[in-house]
Amino acid sequence: MTDAKTKIEETNKSNDVVLYMKGTKTMPQCGFSQRVAGVLTYMGVDFADVNVLEDDAIRQGIKDYSDWPTIPQLYVKGEFVGGCDIITEMTLSGELDQMFEQNGVAYDKDAADKIREANA
């Protein structure tokens, strides 16, 4: 577990936005991962993707690290933000925009607004 924790901490420190997911951002392997990766991609967010299916230690380690039982998990500037439902709610409420702005993460505001318009 120590190796997994170290790897997770290093990944989170070296990337502003990290999505621990099943699959990759170009080939998600579950619907929840696909939704979060899709939102981030559509909003033009530069994010690192970590495929938990490639490493069982990371798959369990990220759950222990965040004390959150499910994948995907989004981190912004090393801080755990949430899973699919939370990211969806934050996107629709505009909270995700605010978090990106407060942390200096570039994103496409017009794309974020289009997501909200499409779901109004």
According to the model, what pLDDT value does residue 120 have? 85
What mean pLDDT do residues 91-98 have? 97
Q: What is the amino acid identity at position 89?
A: E
What is each CA distance from 6 to 1, 28, 40, 58, 90, in whole angstroms?
A: 9, 25, 25, 10, 29
Domains of the chain by start residue, with CATH: 2-118 (3.40.30.10)
According to the model, what pLDDT value does residue 1 have? 52
Cα gap 63→22, rounded to integer Å: 13
Cα gap 20→102, rounded to integer Å: 22
* Coil/strand/helix, residue 46: coil
- pLDDT band (50, 70, 90) for residue 74: very high
pLDDT reading at 106 higher than 90: yes
- CA 18 from chain centre, in angstroms, equals 5
Q: What is the amino acid identity at position 93?
A: S
Instruction: Provide the percentage of residues in the chain whose pLDDT is more than 70.
Output: 98
What mean pLDDT do residues 50-73 have? 96
